[in-house]
Structure 1
Amino acid sequence: MRIVVKGAQGVGKTHVAAALSARSRGRLAVLDEWDGQSELPDDVVAITNAATISLPNDGTTQVIDVSIHGEPLGA
């Protein structure tokens, strides 16, 4: 399983990724600052603020866009 958490700086991507990793009891590792283009390993929660991301079209990766949920934290 691969999950990509994307959004602008300060919207809470790291908090979401850490919660997902904890919920998986550590089965999902957190990959911070993913460039949006590199191949993703299995069992990872990738964090990115890349404007565009490239993913395989095989249905194995879920994307969570936290930027659509409001302002950066503390704004």
Structure 2
Amino acid sequence: MLAIIQHNFTGIDGLTVSQRPQPHLTAEGVLIAMETLPVVPSDWHKETNPHATAEQAAQLPRVIGIGGVGTVIAVGQHRDQ
């Protein structure tokens, strides 16, 4: 999968694009082939401020992006098919 990776809190200069392995589908998971993944204001805040989130998402490096549009290609065995 193609991913935008945040390495530090210097804004756009701290981002790189890299190829990552496809995530492993868990029993409760959903695998989605993304068509559109916008970078939204909450992503901008997290790019420049390590305190912008109380989530573990502040741990770097991390894949950015919290929303998007795509097609479900697989669901885990504990999900409604």
TM-score by length of 2: 0.27
TM-score by length of 1: 0.28
- The structure with higher relative contact order (CA 8 Å, sep 6+) is 1
Q: Which has the higher strand share?
A: 2
